Amino acid sequence: MHLWKNVVIERLMIPLLCFAAGMAQSRADDPPKAKQLAPPTQFRAEDVDGDAGTAIDLFWTLSPDDEEDTKPRKVLRYVISRKQIGGSEEAVVLESGSPFVFEVEEKKPEFEEIGEATYRKDTFRDSNCETGVPYLYRIQAFGPDNAASPTVELKEPIIATLQWFNLQRSWFAVFVFLICGAVIVFIEMARRGKTLKIRKIAGLEAIKDAVGRATEMGRSCLFVPGIQDINDIQTVAGITILAQVAKTTADYRATLEVPTSRSLVMTTARDTVEAAYLQAGRPDEYNEDDIYYITDEQFGYVASVTGKMVRDKPAACFYMGAFYAESLILAETGNSVGAIQVAGTAMPTQLPFFVAACDFTLIGEEFFAASAYLSGEPQQLGSLKGQDFGKLIGGILLLAGCLIMTISAFESRGEPPAEGKETVLQSAQIYLKENILGKGGFKP
Amino acid sequence: MKRTVPLLISAVTGFILIGTAFIPMFEEWGNDAMAWFNLLAAFAFILGGGNLLKMQLQKISAQQAGWGYAAVTLIAFFVTLFVGLAKVGVHPNAKFPEFSWSGNYLEVGSAFWWFFEYIFTPLSATMFALLAFYISSAAFRAFRAKNTEATILLIIAVIVLLGRTYASEWLTGGFPNEPIFGEGGITYSDFKLDHLSQIIMDDFTTPGMRAIKIGIALGVASTSLKVLLGVDRSYLGSDQEA
């Protein structure tokens, strides 16, 4: 029995175990065979409309394995590769032995990975194309554990072409032309002496009162031109209002302080205020140190300005420009020191704060109209009439759009029209959405 | 001359930037124009720094009210400038270990990073946190029921405020989804505060905001044209010297 055990264990079991271990080892050494996924189909490419010839759009139908609700997902991503057709690419390579000598070597174009799209995505834009160069694309789906699909290649190469005019924005161009044309026409009409009636804006009427009050109280006026740089149109609008405020302070001999958060705004504001004092006949009253730079940092700027407010207690505060979270901190501090406050901004999210904390607020378009209104120059007032014409166009389009959408909604309550047989209103609705508001342009 | 040249530059640049919206070829020119602006802004930064120093030194030398703050500003300015330029606490780059300045000045653990993380960020957050108190005081003033309009504003504000918090679920969460009159039509659950709040936001606030935005867009177009055509030159200063 004992012998039998030794024989079984030594002669049979040990070799059997060794064989099993070897088999297991050899299986572990073999790479796991990746599962093959179904490839995406209907792979096609289109040159992007209305661009400078630098982009190509790719479209495909999702791989049948890319199912919406399957977990875990079989397809995780689609990898896109590109190859240049014809000619050869030039590659700069280091010449061996000399670290600073380069030579140009011709390289045969091969497929290079240019990007990937995640699962359930069926488009990709290649924005790094060269104009006029033919490209061939290929796509491959990948899943977990190195699972991959066969590659799908475009049948023909595609070329990105330069368009001279972005036709997708044709309708936008028409509106820009109409509105800008109206502004120019009204400016010209005003120059020729046509009288234009402009409604009173209470906030702007209050500027003189506020400066007058500051003069009487012997306190300063504070003008904050926002926290954006001079490339922001709101800052430019704020600076043009500053010109009018400076003229008033020069007339009343009040002190005007302008802390800025951008260096370029400081230099522009200095030139503007200097010109205003010169125009008012009081160049000697101008002090360039009253217009100074603090910091580009939003809350650093706020800390400095509010500190100044609390210490100096200005009698009038003007906030004209682009503001963010600092709007309420500034306006509430001004309110707490008892200043008359006039604010103007085109930041819709900050308007409620200014309305709540300031005495007068110029809302959106009033802010942009302020400079023209205060200057009283006919050609500037003409631009306001141009704006009104723009509002008229906007109003007409809104009304037409609302009517068309409402009536066609009622129409589609009944039987749906046969495919391609939309009613006039439904066609108009589609044209409005796709062409005028969308990217269809003039295309029917 | 002092006004004509800047006007010419701004007009040419402005029209090119307008062109980028319609003519794809201009896109590159538009990018170049913006790059030039960034260059100018970088040089102007030196101007701003110089002005900051001048103003603070003036305050200290004249011992004006709050000159202590000016001293703190100057000390902070120079210390930050020094640790940033000297790359204090920055380890050399692994590729160039023999050059002690080859590391990134923003490296985690460096003095500059420490200043940013433990002084600048908490101070900015402190200023931002003040907003909570200012919102309360502004809301208290704005929502006083002084007249009919203010009362309507107050009621709507309360609905929106409660509708966007858990209070809405607590107060009106139990409203049943049953019609008030007969079959169909309005249900009790339509009067839940969160639902009312959403109606106010979608049907009243959004159109109002859009109207303001249309006005702003037209204002931007008109102001831009005035600037580009030279109708409004007040931002350019004067041709004469004061």
Q: Do B25 and A162 touch (CB under 8 A)?
A: yes
Q: Which domain holds residue B150?
A: 143-212
Rounded Cα–Cα distance for residues A425 and A438 (Å): 18
Contacts of B212 in chain A (CB under 8 A): 348, 351, 363-364
Q: Does one domain contain both B90 and B70?
A: no
pTM, two decimal places: 0.80
To test the contact with chain A by mutation, choose from B223, B228, B229 the residue with the greatest count of A C-beta atoms within 10 A, namely: B223
Rounded Cα–Cα distance for residues A100 and A92 (Å): 12
A183 vs B51, B66, B225: nearest CB: B225
pLDDT per residue as tens digits for the range B79-132: 999 999 999 999 888 888 888 888 888 889 999 999 999 999 999 999 999 999
- The pLDDT of A67-96, averaged and rounded, is 76
pLDDT of res. A1:
45
pLDDT of res. A338:
94
At residue B195 the predicted structure's pLDDT band, cuts being 50, 70 and 90, is: very high
Domain assignment present for residue B33? The answer is: yes
pLDDT per residue as tens digits for the range A353-379: 999 999 999 998 899 998 888 888 888
To test the contact with chain A by mutation, choose from B234, B236, B238 the residue with the greatest count of A C-beta atoms within 10 A, namely: B234
Alpha helices in A30-115 (DSSP H): none
| ipTM of the complex, rounded to two decimals | 0.89
Q: Does one domain contain both B128 and B177?
A: no
Rounded Cα–Cα distance for residues A14 and A228 (Å): 82
pLDDT per residue as tens digits for the range A167-220: 888 999 999 999 889 988 988 888 888 888 888 888 888 999 999 999 999 999
Structural domains in chain A, sorted by start:
41-159 (2.60.40.10), 202-376 (3.40.50)
Give the β-pairing of A152-153 and A134-142: antiparallel
Per-residue b/e over A331-350, b at no fewer than 16 CB within 10 Å?
bbbbbebebbbbbbbbbbeb
pLDDT of res. A22:
52
Q: Does one domain contain both B114 and B158?
A: no
Q: Does one domain contain both B59 and B131?
A: no
Domain assignment present for residue B233? The answer is: no
Rounded Cα–Cα distance for residues B56 and A258 (Å): 16
3-class DSSP state for residue B186?
A: coil
- DSSP secondary structure string, B226-239? HHHTTS--GGG--S
B231 vs A277, A353, A379: nearest CB: A379
Of B116, B83, B78, B59, the closest CA to residue A304 belongs to B59
- The pLDDT of B203-230, averaged and rounded, is 91
Note whether A408 and A219 are within 8 A (CB).
Answer: no
Q: Do A264 and B40 touch (CB under 8 A)?
A: yes
Q: Does one domain contain both B196 and B207?
A: yes
Contacts of B24 in chain A (CB under 8 A): 50-53, 162-166
A293 vs B48, B69, B237: nearest CB: B48
pLDDT per residue as tens digits for the range A340-360: 999 999 999 999 999 999 999
B227 vs A236, A328, A355: nearest CB: A236
Q: Does one domain contain both B2 and B76?
A: yes
Tokens (6 digits) for A345? 């901004």
Contacts of A290 in chain B (CB under 8 A): none
At residue A9 the predicted structure's pLDDT band, cuts being 50, 70 and 90, is: low
Q: Does one domain contain both B148 and B207?
A: yes
At residue B26 the predicted structure's pLDDT band, cuts being 50, 70 and 90, is: confident
At residue A3 the predicted structure's pLDDT band, cuts being 50, 70 and 90, is: very low
Angle at B82 between CA B77 and CA B86, to 5 degrees: 155
Across the A/B interface, how many CB contacts are shorter than 8 Å?
A: 213
Contacts of A47 in chain B (CB under 8 A): none
pLDDT of res. A307:
92
Of A206, A217, A140, the closest CA to residue A343 belongs to A206
First-to-last CA distance in chain A?
98
To test the contact with chain B by mutation, choose from A365, A375, A381 the residue with the greatest count of B C-beta atoms within 10 A, namely: A365
pLDDT of res. A283:
92
Domain assignment present for residue B224? The answer is: no
The Cα-based distances of A254 to A270, A334, A342, B211 in angstroms read: 16, 18, 17, 38
Q: Do A183 and B222 touch (CB under 8 A)?
A: yes
Please check the confidence at residue A63 and state whether its pLDDT lies above 70. Answer: yes
Q: Does one domain contain both B21 and B63?
A: yes
Q: Does one domain contain both B31 and B59?
A: yes
Q: What total of structural domains would you count in chain B?
A: 3
Q: Does one domain contain both B80 and B94?
A: no
At residue B242 the predicted structure's pLDDT band, cuts being 50, 70 and 90, is: very low
Q: Does one domain contain both B2 and B71?
A: yes
B221 vs A180, A277, A356: nearest CB: A180
- DSSP secondary structure string, A380-408? HHHHHHHHHHHHHHHHHHHHHHHHHHHHH
Domain assignment present for residue B69? The answer is: yes
Q: Do B21 and A172 touch (CB under 8 A)?
A: yes
Q: Does one domain contain both B167 and B182?
A: yes
How many CB atoms sit inside 10 A of residue A118's CB? Answer: 10
Tokens (6 digits) for A14? 């040990």
Please check the confidence at residue B211 and state whether its pLDDT lies above 70. Answer: yes
- The pLDDT of A39-54, averaged and rounded, is 89
Contacts of A231 in chain B (CB under 8 A): 37
Mean of per-residue pLDDT scores for chain A: 85
pLDDT of res. A28:
47
Tokens (6 digits) for A118? 């995640």
Rounded Cα–Cα distance for residues A92 and A105 (Å): 6
- The pLDDT of B158-167, averaged and rounded, is 93
Contacts of A278 in chain B (CB under 8 A): 238, 240, 242
Please check the confidence at residue A99 and state whether its pLDDT lies above 80. Answer: no
pLDDT of res. A328:
95
